[in-house]
């Protein structure tokens, strides 16, 4: 059985590969990457490294050849670009006779109003249309996404947010990676949807946990979106990134990430890593 991971040199993909290398024989593992030289470390460990570019679908036929199980890690970019790329990969999977597609989606993708959701909804629908057995892993929010704000707190800034009382199901990226690896390499996951989430918390609750980890009070500064954008700009965040951050705050405020399930426990035999432990890891990594 051959399992192939796309985007295997990215942050999530790298973690997934490390987990898979501990779980299955290396001769069962392949990766499809745009820059094969970035996967030299995987090749040296015996992984089958293949060139595949979602923007050049003709490269995907060879990349996906002989693959039984395919993991499509969602790409970056605007909706139009991502949907085109994902559709190219799905079409290539059909041509290659792939038997199982695993896709990293976003929480509540089918109904979510979050601005990131349309790409994932369209991709899930495209996979369903193929009739190929699937598993959608709908990830809530990476704890690592908060590193810039945590760095600000370490420098003496308050926890700045315009998310109001909205709650988020933060979890470590490693937890999401372990769940993906469990589904891709395991049995009994065909035609499934998993909502992956840590315990949902408000910004104030998050800041309180962070304060406990740091051994100091972390004040929370609730502002409106315009003020939030100004503060982020003043902190040196690139102008191109600010609309994205504001949209996230708005989505949280509207409850888009307030989805809590026990699916981590179903897949890993344990809940997501407690947020206090996750923040401790992150703070140690920053310090």
Rounded Cα distance between 231 and 240, Å, is 15
pLDDT, tens digit, for every residue of 77-135? 999 999 999 999 999 999 999 999 999 999 999 999 999 999 999 999 999 999 999 99
Asked whether the CA dihedral 59, 62, 63, 67 is positive or negative, the reply is positive
Percent of the chain with pLDDT over 70: 100
3-state secondary structure 75-99: CCCCHHHHHHHHHHHHHHHHHHCCC
Full set of structural domains in the chain with CATH:
3-139 (3.40.50.720), 141-171+197-258+273-287 (3.90.25.10)
How many Cα neighbours within 13 Å face the side chain of 182?
A: 17
Q: What is the pLDDT of residue 241?
A: 92
Q: What is the pLDDT of residue 214?
A: 97
Q: What is the pLDDT of residue 72?
A: 98
Question: Which residues of the chain are modeled with pLDDT < 50?
Answer: none
Indicate the helix (H) or strand (E) that contains 156. Answer: none
Q: What is the pLDDT of residue 118?
A: 96
Q: Helix and strand tally (H, E) in the chain?
A: 12, 11
């Amino acid at each position: 059985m051959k399992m192939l991971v796309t985007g295997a040199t990215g942050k999530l993909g790298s973690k997934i590969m490390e987990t898979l290398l501990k779980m299955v024989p290396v001769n069962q593992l392949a990766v499809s990457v745009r820059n094969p030289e970035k996967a030299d470390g995987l090749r040296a460990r015996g992984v089958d490294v293949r060139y595949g570019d979602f923007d050049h679908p003709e490269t995907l036929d060879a990349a996906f050849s002989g693959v039984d199980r395919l993991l499509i890690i969602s790409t970056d970019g605007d909706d139009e670009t991502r949907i085109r790329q994902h559709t190219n990969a799905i079409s290539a999977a059909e041509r290659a006779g792939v038997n199982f597609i695993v896709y990293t989606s976003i929480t509540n993708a089918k109904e979510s109003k979050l601005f990131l959701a349309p790409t994932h909804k369209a991709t899930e629908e495209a996979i369903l249309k193929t009739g190929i057995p699937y598993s959608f892993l709908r990830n809530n929010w990476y704890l690592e996404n908060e590193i810039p704000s945590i760095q600000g707190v370490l420098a003496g800034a308050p926890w700045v947010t315009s998310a109001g009382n909205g709650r988020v199901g933060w979890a470590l990226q490693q937890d999401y990676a372990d769940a993906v690896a469990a589904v891709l390499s395991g049995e009994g996951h065909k035609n499934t949807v998993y909502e992956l989430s840590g315990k949902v918390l408000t910004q104030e609750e998050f800041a309180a946990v962070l304060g406990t980890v740091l051994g100091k009070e972390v004040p929370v500064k609730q502002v409106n979106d315009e003020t939030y954008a100004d503060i982020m700009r003043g902190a040196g965040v690139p102008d191109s990134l600010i609309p994205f951050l504001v949209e996230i705050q708005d989505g949280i405020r509207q409850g888009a990430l307030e989805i809590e399930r026990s699916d981590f426990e179903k897949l890993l035999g344990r809940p997501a890593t407690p947020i206090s432990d996750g923040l401790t890891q992150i703070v140690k990594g920053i310090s």
